[in-house]
Amino acid sequence: MTSPPIALTIAASDPSGGAGIQADLKAFSANGAYGTAVLTALTAQNTRGVTGIHAVPPAFVTEQLDTLFADVRVDAVKIGMLADAAIAAAVADALERHRPPYVVLDPVMVSTSGHRLLEADAVSVLRERLVPLADLITPNLPEAGDLLGTAAAKNRADAVEQARALLRAGARRVLLKGGHHTHDAQSVDILADAIDAADATAATGALGAGVTELSAPRVNTRNTHGTGCTLSSAIAALRPQHDDWNTAVRAAKDYLTGALRAADTLHVGHGHGPVHHFHQYWS
């Protein structure tokens, strides 16, 4: 029997189970990976919003990571909420020591309900230390603007340019999620690859070199809690099982679309409920 890949989430806890490490572990399992987790923070939250954050001391984040890597083979890492600059630096230090094969960084900054999840002074650590260590970063439109110190993209052309700007700023690959363009019938993400676009100004197609559009029908549901966590975790689980990033990202986006389509069957909470991580398996 072939051993399943082992995926690690470095993120915060969500008591409602829709986001954070709970969503990550569900997405790992649903996509054929064994899940492990290192906690960066505890949150008090539900489907209506976040009421409190209790950060884990950075030294203990380091101890969790070093203890895990000393014993367990880690095939892919997903990084989510890091809370503050000291925790972000501790994670960067550990990644530099242990060098896992694949790293997916979801730059979680603000919750769906508008609560700030990353302290402002941590954004520079994220940008300068973690972005260059990641094989793929998965910002949404506001997060990309935050990383670049500019406004969020308002249209597809601006999104492509911001994805390229993130490559020029040191990212290896960018999946810029277009879900905030809610007026569009399609949910279009931009996948930009620095390896395929060494000349960021080259135009070999409608979008230019190394840039691909990934489109799926927009799902009409208010239950979108944890979509970013779920997508990035699915990518981390699937990348060791596929030959390239493009295939893994497409498979993860298809999985998330199915999870959104089934989200209204769960009836969890009274706000923005979770997606259905196990939609392929539960009747």
Catalytic residues: 177, 224, 226-229
Token pair belonging to 224: 């979108």
Cα 160 to Cα 259: distance, rounded to the nearest angstrom: 26
Query: Edge-to-edge strands of the sheet including 49-55?
Result: 49-55, 34-46, 6-13, 76-79, 102-105, 136-137, 173-176, 186-193, 211-217
- What is the phi-psi region of residue 9: left when phi exceeds 0, alpha when psi lies from -120 to 50, beta otherwise? beta
Q: DSSP strand E in 138-256: where?
A: 173-176, 186-193, 211-217
Cα 60 to Cα 58: distance, rounded to the nearest angstrom: 5
Token pair belonging to 266: 């769960």
Count of C-beta atoms within a 10 Å radius of residue 105: 26
